[in-house]
Amino acid sequence: MQCAECREMLDMLVDDELMPDEARTVRDHIASCSECSREHESLVTTSNQLTNNLMRYTAPDVLKARIHNGLTQSLSSEPIVETKPKQSRWAWVVAAGALIALASSVVTYSTVTREIATRSAGDEVLASHVRSLMPGHLTDVASTNQHNVKPWFNGRVNLSPVVPALDSSGFTLVGGRLDYLSGHPVAAVVYGIRQHLINVYSWPSTGSDSSPSSETKQGYHLVHWMKGGVEYWVISDLNTVELSKFVGLLRAG
């Protein structure tokens, strides 16, 4: 075998694409030719470095949620898709990533549930947020369209929650959910940005208007305010700067 011929087959040898007898011929040549041997060694080193070091990326939760929504919608001719557990073949797709995020929160959640007697509304919001990240709990209505999500709440809760379209600011609508907090049913609207999920809770309240106040519980940021007889809670693991921006957009919408 000539060196030139050997060089042309080195990649195939490394990639295991040669027939056994071809591979044997190339190996025999390498064993007897120091230049081809060095060339082969360089190729093996490079290929191993690439395989061992190249960054692998994980599809973010928000992407999985968006795909889940798109698939459930294309399965049905109805504009509104109810993701009941039985029909929700795709719920686990959303949940898979969320579970990872959840792993560190499980301790938090059980701590919160143990302290049920002394729970504040903020604690309940936190517990609900963590629960919503569990498989199949994120949305009852999965849609990126505000005109599907908003009317879904009609007759389910006694207020119509704000559901502005904020895509242009990077906040994608994921869907809506009915939840139960502080002894009454509440509307939960879910937004996503990158791998972060944001829950927006609202329910009627007799309190007077107040401007947003923030607190941090177990690594989650909560923002709370009252406006026009409605109590609002926003919670996410998103950074406080972007979460404040989100609250501003929500209040303007």
Partner 1 sequence: MAASDTDRFEALIVPHLDSAYTLARYILRDEHDAQDAVQDAALRAFRYFASYRDGDPRAWFLAIVRNCCHTWRQRNPSVPLNESLVEEMSQALYDSTETDTSAIESSQQAAITRAVQNLPIEFREVIVLREIQELSYSEISEVTGVPIGTVMSRLSRARKRLASMLGNEIKEAS
Q: Restricting to residues 83-112, which ones interact with partner 1 according to CB under 8 A?
A: 89-90, 93
Q: Which helix (H) or strand (E) holds 233?
A: strand 230-236
Is 55 or 117 the residue whose CB approaches partner 1 more closely? Answer: 55
CB 207 within 8 A of CB 231: yes
Task: Tell me the C-alpha to C-alpha distance, in Å, between residue 150 and each of 181, 202, 220, 235, 247.
Answer: 19, 13, 26, 19, 18
Work out how close the CB of 94 gets to partner 1 at its nearest, in angstroms, rounded to a whole number: 11
Q: How far apart are CA 189 and CA 55, in angstroms?
A: 34
Secondary structure (3-state) at 68: helix
Work out how close the CB of 11 gets to partner 1 at its nearest, in angstroms, rounded to a whole number: 5
Helical spans, DSSP H, in the chain: 3-14, 20-32, 34-53, 61-75, 91-103, 106-114, 121-132, 146-152, 240-252
Work out how close the CB of 145 gets to partner 1 at its nearest, in angstroms, rounded to a whole number: 15
Spell out, one character per residue from 1 to 20, where the chain touches partner 1: x when CB under 8 A holds, - when not. ----------xx--x-x---
Q: Kindly indicate which of the ranges 54-62, 103-111, 132-140, 150-158 contains the residues binding partner 1, using the contact rule CB under 8 A.
A: 54-62
Is 89 or 156 the residue whose CB approaches partner 1 more closely? Answer: 89
Binding site for partner 1 (CB under 8 A): 11-12, 15, 17, 38, 41-43, 45-47, 49-51, 53-60, 62-64, 66-67, 70-71, 74-75, 89-90, 93, 194
